[in-house]
């Protein structure tokens, strides 16, 4: 299975600042890369699919980029509701796999 | 608006079979090119895909769990189900059901249900 590695494990950010999260795939996943946001006690919420396409209702401050094995989620000007855990996920090869997550916490 | 809701026992004894059902509302489980998935998350840990079923009944299982997993669909009840046999404490997790369209990642998820394996 494809191993997804996220960095950093924890990111401390002040509200209003931007954040950059990284995700590396163990082999190419083409453009089949998604990002999810998860808050405590909630199911993951799809933010980005196809590397850079925002899911329905996702604000423009969330953007994705990358290709092949290296991917980035950028959050511009963090709002209070953005502090959460973020997971990348590949859906190129079965079984689909997730990264271990990056926790974005308030600095 | 599609909604998914997991249901089933919250406590299962070791070596027994875990059984969960996901009820879909706001849309037909048979409509369109949808896959219906089960995903789990141990407390404080990451997410693991268990498997998925297409509306036709074809399935894909995670090889790490394949020998113990059965996913089935009951279109008459608009439900799909998960059975995981010979459970151990390592199977204790929040179990989510989710919907995905064609080759895209899941966009609708249930709220999740905690299943604890303990005697």
Identify the DSSP state of B107.
-
Closest to B117 (Cα-Cα) out of B42, B44, B10, B6:
B10
Say whether A96 and B48 touch across the interface (CB within 8 A): no
What was the pLDDT predicted at B30? 86
Say whether A56 and B48 touch across the interface (CB within 8 A): no
What was the pLDDT predicted at A92? 95
As a whole number, the mean pLDDT across chain B is 95
What was the pLDDT predicted at B32? 75
Minimum distance, in Å, between the CA of residue B94 and any CA atom of chain A: 10
What was the pLDDT predicted at B55? 86
Residue-wise pLDDT tens digits, B10-29: 999 999 999 999 999 999 99
Chain B residues within 8 A of A101 when measuring between CB atoms: 46
Residue-wise pLDDT tens digits, A42-76: 999 999 999 999 999 999 999 999 999 999 999 99
Which of A43, A49, A99 is facing B105, going by the closest CB pair? A49
Chain A residues within 8 A of B49 when measuring between CB atoms: 95-98
Q: What is the rounded average pLDDT of the residues A10-31?
A: 97
As a whole number, the mean pLDDT across chain A is 96
> Band of the pLDDT at B77, cuts 50, 70, 90?
very high
Minimum distance, in Å, between the CA of residue A95 and any CA atom of chain B: 5
Minimum distance, in Å, between the CA of residue B23 and any CA atom of chain A: 16
Q: In this structure, are residues A83 and A14 in contact, taking their beta carbons and an 8 Å threshold?
A: no
Structure token pair of residue B77: 């009840």
Cα distances (Å, whole numbers) of residue A90 to B21, B80, B114: 26, 24, 25
Residue-wise pLDDT tens digits, B25-49: 999 998 778 999 999 999 999 999 9
Radius of gyration of chain A (CA): 13
Q: What is the rounded average pLDDT of the residues A6-17?
A: 96
Distance from C-alpha of B119 to C-alpha of B115, rounded to nearest angstrom: 13
> Band of the pLDDT at B100, cuts 50, 70, 90?
very high
Chain B residues within 8 A of A4 when measuring between CB atoms: none
Which of B46, B103, B112 is facing A98, going by the closest CB pair? B46
Which of A4, A38, A87, A96 is the best substitution to test chain B (most B C-beta atoms within 10 A)? Answer: A96
Say whether B106 and A100 touch across the interface (CB within 8 A): no
Minimum distance, in Å, between the CA of residue B50 and any CA atom of chain A: 8
What was the pLDDT predicted at B56? 86
Q: What is the rounded average pLDDT of the residues A19-42?
A: 97
């Amino acid at each position: 299975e494809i191993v997804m590695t996220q960095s950093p494990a924890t990111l401390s950010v002040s509200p209003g600042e931007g954040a950059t999260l990284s995700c590396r795939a163990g082999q190419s996943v083409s453009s089949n890369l998604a990002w999810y946001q998860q808050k405590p006690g909630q199911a993951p919420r799809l933010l980005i699919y196809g590397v850079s396409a925002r899911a329905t209702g996702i604000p423009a401050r969330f953007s994705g980029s990358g290709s092949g094995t290296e991917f980035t989620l950028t959050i511009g000007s963090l709002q209070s509701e953005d502090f959460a855990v973020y997971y990348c996920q590949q859906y190129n090869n079965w079984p689909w796999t997730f990264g271990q997550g990056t926790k974005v916490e308030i600095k | 608006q599609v909604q998914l809701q997991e249901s089933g026992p919250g406590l299962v004894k070791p070596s027994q079979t875990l059984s969960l059902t996901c009820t879909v509302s706001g849309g037909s489980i048979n409509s369109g090119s949808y896959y219906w998935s089960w995903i789990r998350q141990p407390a404080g840990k990451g997410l693991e895909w268990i498997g998925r079923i297409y509306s036709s009944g074809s399935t894909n299982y995670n090889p790490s769990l394949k020998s113990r997993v059965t996913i089935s669909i009951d279109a008459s009840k608009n439900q799909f189900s998960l059975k995981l046999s010979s459970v151990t404490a390592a199977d204790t997790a929040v179990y989510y059901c989710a919907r995905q369209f064609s080759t895209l990642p899941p966009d609708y998820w249930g709220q999740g249900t905690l299943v604890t394996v303990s005697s």
